[in-house]
């Protein structure tokens, strides 16, 4: 069962895709074994500081950890070298730069801030190699 006491499976296995508290009930004859466990998302990578927008499909966009992307309470802001905002959005979809973005130099440096309502969570640079 999930945290809302909704049964998610009646078989001997289940797929869990959302973090939360779950309860496992195993019934053997007239005996029930009940165990509760916590599921959390573990980000195994850091915010990247280099992307290569060469169109090969590898590292062409700035992909950040799940703890920051696709979240309504997290604001991602990217600035160009002159300090002008080039991206400012909540629920960042890991899709910067867009295909229409023009890079006028070989190795351009951008600056980012990832913040919530109270504080800056991460900040740094992104070097765009084309």
pLDDT of 41 higher than 80: no
Mean pLDDT of 8-12: 79
pLDDT for residue 76 = 98
Burial of 4 (0-12, 13-18, 19+ CB in 10 A): exposed
More confident residue, 20 or 5: 20
- Rounded Cα gap, residues 36 and 54, in angstroms: 48
| Mean pLDDT computed over every residue of the chain | 88
Min mean pLDDT across 1-5, 68-72, 87-91, 119-123 is at: 1-5
Domains of the chain: which residue ranges? 1-40, 50-129
Task: Provide the whole-model pTM.
Answer: 0.68
Q: Give me the pLDDT at residue 12, please.
A: 78
Stretch 4-22: mean pLDDT: 80
- Residue 96 is classified by DSSP as B
Structure confidence at residue 123 (pLDDT):
96
Q: Quickly tell me which residue has 């599921």 as its tokens.
A: 39
Does domain 50-129 fall under CATH 2.30.30? My reply is: no
Report pLDDT digits (tens) over 60-114: 999 999 889 999 999 999 999 999 999 999 999 999 998 767 788 889 999 999 9
Q: What are 119's two structure tokens? A: 């504080």
Q: What is the pLDDT of residues 25-38, one digit of tens each?
A: 888 888 988 888 88
> What was the pLDDT predicted at 1?
61
Which residue is associated with the tokens 């029930």? 32
């Amino acid at each position: 069962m999930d945290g809302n006491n909704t049964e998610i499976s009646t078989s001997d296995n289940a797929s869990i895709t959302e973090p939360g508290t779950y309860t496992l009930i195993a019934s053997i004859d007239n005996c029930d074994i009940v165990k509760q466990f916590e599921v959390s998302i573990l980000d195994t990578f850091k915010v990247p500081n280099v992307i290569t927008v060469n169109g090969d499909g590898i590292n062409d966009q700035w992909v950040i950890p799940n703890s920051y992307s696709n979240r309504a309470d997290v604001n991602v802001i990217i600035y160009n070298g002159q300090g002008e905002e080039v991206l400012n959005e909540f629920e960042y979809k890991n899709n910067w730069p867009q295909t229409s973005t023009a890079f006028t130099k070989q190795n351009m440096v951008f600056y980012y801030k990832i913040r919530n309502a109270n504080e800056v969570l991460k900040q740094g640079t992104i070097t765009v190699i084309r």
